Every structure is written in structure tokens, then in C-alpha cells.
Amino acid sequence: MNYDLIVIGSGPGGYVAAIRASQLGMKVAVVERESLGGICLNWGCIPTKALLKSAQVFEYINHADDYGIKVTGAKVDFDAMVSRSRDVANGMSKGINFLFRKNKIETLNGTGRLVRGKKVEVTDADGNKKEYSAKNIIVATGGRAKELPNLPIDGKKIIEYRKAMSMEKQPKKLVVVGAGAIGVEFAYFYHSIGTEVTIVEFMEQGLLPREDADVSKEMNKIYKKKGLNVLGNTSVESVDTKGRGCTVTIKNRKSGKTEEIKCDVVLSAAGVSPNTEDIGLETLGIKTDQRGLIEVDEYYQTNVPGIFAIGDVTPGAALAHTASAEGITCVEKMAGHNPEPLDYNNIPSCTYCVPEVASVGYTESAAKEAGYELKVGKFPFSASGKASAAGAKEGFVKLIFDAKYGEFLGAHMVGSNVTEMIAEVVAARKLETTGHEIIKSVHPHPTMSEAVMEAAAAAYDEVIHL
């Protein structure tokens, strides 16, 4: 069967690319070995947010007295939380199936592999193989949890994110290795429902080491206040899984001192590895880097004409919205349009713990390294009327501008609902908005978003409420 486009993988890169290609008049098929929506909809972005919402509701109930409400007898039903999360994921996957039918996209169930002649070999669950040909092929096979040498994932005592959201019972003690977004989100969830959590991070900054230094510092302070044990600049030397639980041996990278931590389960959250093995890249001579990531140009063309790659299998941040944007750009170029290449410095990053974290653009240190003279404004939510009324005074908005021309270089936020607020900054930077234009853009009162205007004003010594 001949198609204009075959997409291997139906995650947020693959399914979005397929739908946009269909809108542009292409005959499209998508190869998927599990459930439509990929990791994001089934085991990542969506079901984790369902778990985090359950944890947040439980926290609200436990702090109901703060709002003048008396509640007694609240307790966690771990199985029900997991079941709700799975129901949300299943509903989203069915939604993708609806969109595929609406856009006349064919689903090829099985594992896809590239073969010569612009063909994809699909092996179904019974081992039957069938070849399909296409004018163009997009590899969108996504990623999986990165496995560390001293942390072999066994799916029982040393687990990754998929198992972390579907465990048979809630652990009493959990060690989370890696303090990026995945590690921090799961640490928040399990701590909030009563698990004793220790976070081990290799980098000195501790929590969220890729964020602006002020964000990491604030999150370390908040998490330690919540009662989580946060260990930065620390490596995992070994994990002993003999017996009923685990014994994690860690080492402080500065002092060299080692210690042991007892726990029920260890969650490996040390990053993402691309799913680029066994998909036929070597058969076609498609170039990859030393990490196994597929090399592509600004429109996601590989070194082999007609073969493209998007999402977690390519260099760059492994984010769902990045993959979706890449997919749209890729197929629009494929269809003969002239889309603007993505600006990877204007893609937001979000962490959905409590408080939330969101950022886009340069960190303060990166902006200085790039040679900019800076104006930096910071507005704490402790000075926000809406934050006080909501009982959400933790965190701040920090904005960074170029002192010479007023260019909006970056934004870094910690606080309630900041993952929604960051979109304002992304749009403003896309439109080349300056700091003074932000200050003169009237923000509604009382809102959390006022902090963006106030932070911009702080950068220019015009802030009113500090």
C-alpha cells in the first residue's frame, strides 16, 4: 500500500504530524505498537498530571483549616488514585483514535522498522510482517527512561516512571534518583500522600538543576520545608535489592563521604534515552550522534532524502510540545510550504509539582555568558494580593531583559499556576516585545499574572508593590 506519509510512532510528535499532513491533503498512515498517543498520553504528561491533581486535592483537604473549613477523616485511596489516572489516559488515547478517523488517517498496529526503498516493515503482535511504502517517512519513536550503570531497572525495586504511576501499593519509603521535572513531580506526589521521600541529584544545584539558579534555590528551600530530604551534589554508588527492601549507597561528591539509605523502592528519573535501536537506521545509513540521537536539519530531514525524524529521537529537550511543533514544521515544509524554523530558545519548560515551575529563554547566567548587559526584575508572590487570598504565597516571577535594547531575554517562575502564565511570555518574546511594553500592558487585578507586569517594572525600577 502506498502513502504520501508514514509516521512511525503516535506520540505528541507523531500524531500531530499525521493530522497536519492530512489537513494538507496527504494520504497518511501511522505505525503504533502500543496505544495511540504514545508515552505522553498513556504514561507521561497526562496521567502524571492526574496523579498530581489527586495529591494537590489531598493537600487542600489537609490544609482546609487555613481556609476556615473543618475536615476530618480524609485518607488516601492509592488504588483509586492510580485507577483515575489510568482512566484519564485511556480517555485521551480514545480521543486520538477519534481524531485519526476524522482525518482519515490509517493506523498500522505493530512495530515499525525502516527498510530500503522508502518502505516500513510492520510486525504485528503475532509476529506477522507486512511492508508499506511511502513518499516520505517520519521517525517519531520517542524515548524511554535512561538507565544508569549503578541503577539497573528491574521493574520491581528499581523502577522507572511507568511503574511509578501504576504500583500495586504505595511505598512507605522512596528514593528518587534525579531531580529534573520527572523526579521532582513524582517526589511531590508520593510525599504529599504520605511516603517518606529522599531525592538524590548528581548536580550541585539540587532540584531542577537546568533551571535558573534562583529557581533551584527556591525549590530546594520549599521542598526541604515540606519535609523532603534533598541531597544535591550526590551520586548513587550502588543499590542492594536483596531482602524485602533496598539499600542505596550514596556519596557526597564534595566531601567524598558515603552513607546508606533504606527504602522500599528506588525511582530512576535520570533522564531520557532515544528509542532508535532496531528501527533500521543502520540499514539506510541514517546518521546518529554518540547518544543515538538522529541528526536532522532545521526541517527535520535526515541525511537520507525522504526520511525525517522529530521529537525525543533528535537532539534537544525531550518535551511533548517541542515534538508537536517539530511535527507541524516538518510536514508543512514537506508539503511545499515555507514554515519558519523553530526558535528553540523560545520553547517553555514546565514542572507540575506544587508550587509549579515554568521558564523560557535565557537563564541569568546564560544571558551573561552570551555577552548581554542585563536588567533583572523579580516579584515575589508574597507581595501579590491574589496569591495571599489563594493561600499560595510561595515563589516569584523573575524576568530578564537586555539593558541596551530592552529585548525580553527570559522568564523564570515558581508559584501557583505559573505553567499557564508562561504562555504570555512565550507570545511576548515571539512578538519581540520589550520590557517597557510589558510594563505598559495593563494586567487584570487581582491575578497571579500581575506578577509578570510587576517583575518587568522591577527590572526598570518602576515597581509599585514592593
Residues recognised as catalytic: 445
> 109: which residues sit within 8 A by CB, 6+ positions away?
32, 33, 122, 124, 125
> Sheet harboring 396-402: ordered strands across?
349-351, 356-361, 408-415, 396-402, 374-380
